[in-house]
């Protein structure tokens, strides 16, 4: 049977998105999801997103990693599904939707999609890295000359270390450009490789750099291999609130595939 799908990307972080408002997709079929995300035998993507109905909200976002397992929050995915909802006519330029970590608001302004992230109430600063959860768990470490870094090897070493091997962790390598600009490369669990960008990852980087005093700015530019993202936030006591992830989100193509 032929099924319609859509391919979206946000700064190179790419997703297969399916309109599942009729609840026809088998969310327990891990092998199918992994197949659809396979870059050689399927469509190819960092993850799969289902758009579903959710009561009085505009929609619900269900996100799966490329390995076929349902995952924690995906920031770029949240921006892409917002653009998809507008394409379907579900929303105009604003949305309130449910994701695995709770309610999110999003706004479309010109070519940018802004996603409000959940507040971050705890940031842990260790000797050589910062750990925080921005909807997904992130390990943030400063490095020099990150362009020469073997992100897959170094990221996997941390992700599968004794501390994180059970639940896994996303690993972000950061290089400071100036007080308001940082370069970021991210190893994502579930993908088990470097991705061109990670929305929750750059959010974690922006907050971590502010937390350890690398910047006093509250609007940070993050350069990823897939393009530029921005993160704005407010500091309230030990917490970060009113956090927004800002960047482009584009439909690449619409297609049909049999399963």
Note if 74 is an active site residue: yes
Note if 80 is an active site residue: no
112 phi/psi in degrees, rounded to 5:
-110, 145
* Residue 16 confidence (pLDDT): 98
Q: Which helix (H) or strand (E) holds 50?
A: strand 47-52
Joined tokens for residue 80: 């892409």
Span between the terminal Cα atoms of the chain, in Å: 6
Among the listed residues 254, 252, 253, 244, the one whose alpha carbon sits nearest the alpha carbon of residue 109: 244
Q: What is the pLDDT of residues 76-90, one digit of tens each?
A: 999 999 999 999 999
Among the listed residues 61, 73, 70, 44, the one whose alpha carbon sits nearest the alpha carbon of residue 193: 44
Among the listed residues 93, 90, 84, the one whose alpha carbon sits nearest the alpha carbon of residue 10: 84
What are the CA-CA distances from residue 162 to residues 31, 138, 156, 166 (Å)?
Answer: 28, 16, 12, 8
* Residue 89 confidence (pLDDT): 98
* Residue 91 confidence (pLDDT): 98
Per-residue pLDDT of the chain (259 residues; tens, 9 = 90+): 899 999 999 999 999 999 999 999 999 999 999 999 999 999 999 999 999 999 999 999 999 999 999 999 999 999 999 999 999 999 999 999 999 999 999 999 999 999 999 999 999 999 999 999 999 999 999 999 999 999 999 999 999 999 998 899 999 999 999 999 999 999 999 999 999 999 999 999 999 999 999 999 999 999 999 999 999 999 999 999 999 999 999 999 999 999 9
d(CA 198, CA 219): 17
Cα-to-chain-centroid distance, residue 127: 26
Q: Read off the pTM.
A: 0.96
* Residue 162 confidence (pLDDT): 95
Q: In order of start, what are the domains of the chain with their CATH numbers?
A: 2-104+249-258 (3.10.310.10), 123-247 (3.10.310.10)
CB 151, CB 185: distance < 8 Å: yes
CB 75, CB 224: distance < 8 Å: no
Joined tokens for residue 115: 């996603």
Q: What is the pLDDT of residues 118-147, one digit of tens each?
A: 999 999 999 999 999 999 999 999 999 999
Among the listed residues 58, 54, 2, 65, the one whose alpha carbon sits nearest the alpha carbon of residue 23: 54
Candidate list 37, 74, 80, 142, residue with the active-site label: 74
Q: What Rg value do the Cα atoms of the chain yield, rounded?
A: 17
156 phi/psi in degrees, rounded to 5:
-65, -35
Residues 6+ apart with CB under 8 A from 30: 67, 68, 69
* Residue 236 confidence (pLDDT): 96
d(CA 86, CA 94): 9
């Amino acid at each position: 049977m032929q099924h319609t799908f859509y391919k979206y990307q946000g700064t190179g972080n790419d997703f297969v998105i399916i309109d599942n408002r009729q609840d026809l997709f088998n969310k327990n079929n891990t092998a199918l999801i992994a197949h659809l995300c396979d870059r050689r035998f399927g469509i190819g993507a960092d993850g799969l997103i289902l758009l579903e109905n959710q009561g009085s909200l505009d929609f619900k976002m269900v996100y799966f990693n490329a390995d076929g397992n349902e995952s924690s929050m995906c920031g770029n995915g949240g921006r892409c599904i917002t653009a998809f909802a507008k394409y379907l006519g579900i929303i105009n330029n604003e949305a309130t939707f449910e994701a695995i970590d709770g309610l999110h608001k999003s706004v479309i302004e010109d070519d940018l999609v802004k996603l409000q992230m959940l507040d971050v109430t705890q940031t842990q600063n260790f000797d050589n890295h910062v750990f925080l959860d921005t909807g997904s768990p992130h390990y943030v470490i400063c490095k020099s000359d990150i362009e020469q870094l073997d992100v897959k090897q170094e990221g996997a070493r941390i992700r599968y270390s004794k501390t994180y091997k059970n639940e896994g962790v996303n690993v972000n390598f950061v290089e400071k450009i100036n007080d308001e600009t940082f370069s970021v490369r991210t190893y994502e669990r579930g993908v088990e490789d470097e991705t061109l960008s990670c929305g929750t990852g750059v959010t974690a980087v922006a907050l971590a750099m502010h937390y350890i005093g690398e910047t006093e700015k509250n609007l940070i530019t993050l350069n990823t291999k897939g393009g530029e993202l921005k993160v704005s936030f407010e500091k309230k006591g030990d917490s970060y609130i009113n956090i927004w992830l800002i960047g482009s989100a584009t439909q690449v193509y619409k297609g049909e595939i049999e399963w």
